[in-house]
Amino acid sequence: MGSLPEPPIRRIAIIGGGPAGVAAAKYLIAEKHFEKIDIYEQQATTGGAWNYSERSVESTIDVPQTDPDQPLDQPTWRRNGKVSVPVFTSPMYDRLETNIPKPLMSYSDTPFPPDCQLFPHRDVVTDYLERYAAEVKPLIQFQTQVVDVRLQNPHAIHDVWTVRSENLISGQQSTATYDAVIVSSGHYTIPFIPSVPGMKEWNNAYPSTISHSKFFRRPEDFVNKKVLVVGNAASGVDIAAQIVSYCAPPLLISSRSESFLLSATTGREERPEITEFISPSVRNRAVRFSDGRVEADITAIVYCTGYLYSYPFLPSLRPHLLSDGLRVRNLFQHIFYIAHPSLAFLTLPMRILPFPLCEAQAAVIARVWSHRLQLPSATRMHDWEAGVVAAKGAAKGFHTQNFPEDFDYHNALHDWAAQTDRTVGKMPHRWTERERWLRERFPAIKKAFADRGEARHGVTTVEELGFDSEACLESGRDDAGAVVQRV
């Protein structure tokens, strides 16, 4: 079908009451066009992936894990006073701090507390999200899991979506119909553990040795163990920095390339990618790296290799959204499902600033669905997708937005939304030159923050770390005296 026909969209379901779903609701409400907005949230509170779960169940993960077609996430049950509540395994760990400085992480209308540290602890973020969600809580059906979403008639002129959900407390299932659906369920449910020759046999011989960052909680679990961390993006670097003080030295880090996030830490050795898990009949707990070196007697391997996109509640959708789970297919601008643009997705891109981005995406969705903005033809939308595939590939790189692509994408969405009457609806923030300067340097800012050790908890601004954006922009030079590129 492609573009959105009349009659107008009035009833909207939002799947997921985390950071993106809550922001979407605010932008839809501000549009003053929609009659019904329901948010389905399977957890007992807002916060999405930021809800910390004390313990996790690792037995459900396959090694390797490369298949996105997984069943609905299942909760464990915890006592909360006199009642049991469903708890879903979270990717949060005990001592997690954000990898984004708070001036760039916050929503446009809700700053972080000025006295909290520059890279806030997860507890601060959880409280922040709870405060941000307060005004839309009446719209949220908590402890309610969406089990199926499908079009009543894929060939009809006007889309009608049937959403079937289950109340996790009572077990009762309900069905409701909507004109449009926003999927904001996140993409931190299905861990990605790439397949390596010999991995299955190795895992069977040494069960529970191979794990994933989703199940990491605290470094004390690795006392005196010989540990190998796989991956050196934000979670890998942070987890390695915690484990190194507890494991048997040296901590090994396997990665394909150098990380700019690594801080000055002793007791660590870097290795290239793993090319083989050596048979237990040949060598004890050993792996081979691409440079030919072998490490034996490894007692813990933590894969920090990201997640697969997965949508078990959309099994009937044609054309399909997924193949290998490394990207979502048949979308325009990482948002609109091209065949039926009354289905939209939030915050699929990686290496982004997620809270501000979901606002920019929600602003566009609200205006398109109220018919204040128009989508291009289906042909042009497919051409956009094909252009991204040609430039970045059809796998993980499709949604990866390294700086400055992330900033340019965000500002392009802002400018698209700004084409409408700005006295109606809610507008996201547009990134400034100062913020672009900060974004370009925040890996270095994070490293400087981490290098402070325990003293970092008292650092609340980038200026305290020696990063003065105003002075550098005025002089046209960066921190090391190099010319700042104006883009």
Comparing 84 with 480, which gets the higher pLDDT? 84
**pLDDT of the residue at 478:** 55
Which of the four pLDDT bands, split at 50, 70 and 90, describes residue 485?
very low
Give the Cα separation of 129 and 184 in Å (integer): 15
CA distance to 256, 300, 355, per residue, from 278 (Å): 20, 15, 43
Q: 15: left (phi > 0), else alpha (psi -120 to 50), else beta?
A: beta
Q: Please compute the mean of the pLDDT values over residues 126-146 and round it to a whole number.
A: 98
pLDDT at residue 442, as a whole number: 87
Q: What percent of the chain has pLDDT over 90?
A: 85
**pLDDT score of 472:** 72
pLDDT (tens digit per residue) in 194-236? 999 999 999 999 999 999 999 999 999 999 999 999 998 889 9
Does 351 score more than 50 pLDDT? yes
Closest to 19 measured CA to CA, from 188, 166, 261: 188
Mean pLDDT (whole number) for 241-255 = 96
357-394, pLDDT tens digit by residue?
999 999 999 999 999 999 999 999 999 999 999 999 99
Average pLDDT along the chain:
92
* Cα(93)–Cα(51) distance, integer angstroms: 10
pTM: 0.94
pLDDT in tens, 114-128: 999 999 999 999 999
Q: What are phi and psi of 143, to 5 degrees?
A: 55, 40
pLDDT over 50 (residue 150):
yes
The answer to whether 358 and 365 are in contact (CB under 8 A) is no
pLDDT at 85 (0 to 100):
87
Q: What is the pLDDT of residue 99?
A: 92
Higher pLDDT, 238 or 479: 238
- How many angstroms separate the most distant Cα atoms in the chain? 71
In tens, the pLDDT along 252-301 reads: 999 987 655 555 567 899 999 999 999 999 999 999 999 999 999 999 99
Torsions phi, psi for 4 (to 5 deg): -90, 120
pLDDT on residue 469: 78
At 477 the pLDDT is: 57
pLDDT over 70, % of the chain:
93
Q: Which residues share a beta bridge with 181? A: 13, 343
CA distance 303 to 213: 6
Q: Which residues contact 343 (CB under 8 A, 6 or more apart)?
A: 159, 161, 180, 181, 183, 317, 336, 337
> Directed axis angle between helix 19-30 and helix 354-369, to 10°?
40
Given a cut of 70, whether residue 454 has pLDDT beyond it is: yes
4 pLDDT higher than 90: no
Mean pLDDT for 51-72 is 83
The enclosing H or E element of 253 equals strand 251-254
Does residue 475 surpass a pLDDT of 70? no
Q: 420-450: per-residue pLDDT in tens? A: 988 899 999 999 999 999 999 988 999 899 8
Burial class, 115, CB count within 10 angstroms (exposed 0-12 / middle 13-18 / buried 19+): exposed
Closest CA to 291 of 273, 303, 279: 273
Confidence of residue 482 (pLDDT cuts 50, 70, 90): very low
**Strand pairing class (331-332; 336-337):** antiparallel
Alpha-carbon dihedral of residues 274, 277, 278, 280, nearest 10 degrees? 150
